[in-house]
Amino acid sequence: MKRRLFLGMPALLAAAEEGPRAPEVTRPRATFGDRVEPKWEQGLTITVGPQKADLVGTDHRVVQAGVDYVSGLGGGTVRLLPGTYRFRNAVQMRSGVRLLGSGLDSVCIKEPTIKTALVENSDWYDQEITLKDASGFQVGDGIVLRTKNPHNGGEDIFRRTLVARSGNRFKLNQMLQENFWTKEGSLASRTHSLFEGYRIADIGIENICLDGNRANSEFLNGNYVGCVFLRESNRIHMKGVTARNFNGDGISYQVCHDVRVEDCASIDNANYGLHPGSGSQRTVVTGCRLERNDIGFFFCWGVKWGLVEKNVMADNRRFGVSIGHNDTDNVVRNNEVLRSGKFGIYLRQEHGPTFAPSRNRIETNRVVDSGNESGAAVEIEGVTEQVMLKGNVLLETRGAASRVGVRIGKDAKAITLAENKIEGFSAPVADLRKS
């Protein structure tokens, strides 16, 4: 009986959405458990800053205290006053909290990475490690643990926080989950994001500068950290955030839905400027500058129904925009994609038709000076199909060489080009399906 009810639930929900609706709420009241509320003239706000603030301090702990305080009272705003804040761990955002900085006058900087080996074995069920050189490590630090997996030869990477110590022996906030043995070269390093969130909803990060201290930090990709790193979270709004100099991604969010990134700058990061991660649905990115990263905008796996509009992707070392594994039904339009190192807009080779970046629309973008002498403004690889390129301006100002406007791979299908202006290339279109 319960199984039949469970299996029939999607149909019941669909019918409810299509059927009669309740009247529109015109005079809302604050009612327990109801997200529909009045628009209050004033909400809970707490200030954090170097002086003359509700919470005085300049590190991650005082910012975390502000976030936890307003979260504990049901949500509100944490306002960072002008100042330089130095982080030894990520601030964990909470549902219903808005973090509001003071623009480029409120700068959060990641402290330099320090690294050492583990000198005692720790098994997967342990919740402690012993460091060879504990100098520089403190209780409260965010760390990354790396080891070679003794069973499959791969690398295991886990993020943890140091929560207690005796000499060079530290307790962790969680168990290890994998074996960290000395014979496999296990290492610990102080590496972390600046702001993180896990399974949270309805948050804002606005008007703040985040600096990853790239020159003094080890590299770790956007599946683990970033200036901002979010996982499995919903209804996120980032506006006016500068994410710079991170030895990894600027802004990364994995399996996050209804994320809006507006008027932000992600610049000079070692990896991706903006990385909507695996399974993220309905992301909207508008008015942003993604400059001098490895890739400006990276669609990860299964990113769908997204809108990337009115952004500038400039001087990125490989691609301005990269779309790949099962990234479908997205719209990329009205962007400036300038001086990309390899391709301006790249639809990646994948592992068969069901994984291809199909049913995407590339519209009214301006793509200028992409790649080396054999570069392309738009490169379409693999079994990609049902892609529309319409109204784009593709320009090459450095000389034709062997450059092409649009290169279509031999296995692509149903690629539609309409009303594009393509100038300065050796060939406007190189269609390998015809060769």
Q: Which of 299, 317, 335 is the last residue of a domain?
A: 317
Q: What angle do CA 120, 124, 125 make, to 5 degrees?
A: 100
- pLDDT exceeds cutoff 50 at 1: no
Q: Are residues 185 and 203 in the same domain?
A: no
Q: Is the predicted pLDDT of residue 6 greater than 60, yes or no? A: no
- Residue 21 confidence class, pLDDT cut points 50, 70, 90: confident
Domain extent for 231? 45-110+192-317
Same-domain check for residues 173 and 269:
no
**How far is 364 from 310, CA to CA, in rounded Å?**
10
In a domain, 398, yes or no: no
Q: Is 274 a residue whose pLDDT tops 50?
A: yes
pLDDT of residue 20: 87
Q: Which residues partner with 237 through β-bridges?
A: 204, 260
Beta strand pairing call for 187-189 and 115-117: antiparallel
In the block, tokens 């279509």 appear at: 408
140 and 153 in a single domain? The answer is yes
Of 6 and 202, the one with more pLDDT: 202
Q: How much is the pLDDT for 153?
A: 86
Do residues 221 and 90 both lie within one domain? Answer: yes
**Domain end marker among 285, 317, 349:** 317
Give the separation between CA 234 and CA 255, rounded to whole angstroms. Answer: 9
Residue 431 domain-assigned? no
Number of domains present in the structure of the chain: 2
Q: What is the CATH number of the domain that holds 159?
A: 2.40.30
Residues 59 and 121 in one domain: no
Instruction: Report the 10 Å Cβ neighbour count for 435.
Output: 6
Alpha-carbon gap, residue 198 to 177, rounded angstroms: 18
239 and 131 in a common domain: no
Across all residues in the chain, what is the average pLDDT?
A: 94
Please report which confidence band the pLDDT of residue 16 belongs to, taking 50, 70 and 90 as the band edges. Answer: low
Contact (CB, 8 A) for 27 and 36: no
Q: Are residues 119 and 161 in the same domain?
A: yes
d(CA 30, CA 247): 44
H helix count then E strand count, the chain: 2, 38
Q: Is the torsion defined by CA of 306, 311, 317, 318 positive or negative?
A: positive
CA distances from 9 to 6, 14, 390 (A): 5, 9, 41
Q: Is the pLDDT of residue 433 over 70?
A: yes
Confidence of residue 13 (pLDDT cuts 50, 70, 90): low
Position 287 in a domain: yes
Query: 178 near 124, Cβ under 8 Å?
Result: yes
303-356 confidence digits (pLDDT tens)? 999 999 999 999 999 999 999 999 999 999 999 999 999 999 999 988 878 899
On whether both 203 and 312 belong to a single domain, the answer is yes
Q: Same structural domain for residues 313 and 213? A: yes
Q: Is residue 249 part of a domain?
A: yes
CA dist., res. 210 & res. 214, Å (int): 11
434 falls in which pLDDT band (50, 70, 90)?
A: confident
Task: Say if residue 210 is in the same domain as residue 92.
Answer: yes
pLDDT in tens, 246-260: 999 999 999 999 999
Q: Are residues 94 and 122 in the same domain?
A: no
pLDDT value for 255: 97
Under the phi-then-psi rule, with left for phi > 0, alpha for psi from -120 to 50, and beta for the rest, what region is 83?
left
Task: List the CATH number of the domain containing 260.
Answer: 2.160.20.10
Give the type of residue at 274. Answer: L
Give percent of the chain with pLDDT exceeding 70. 96
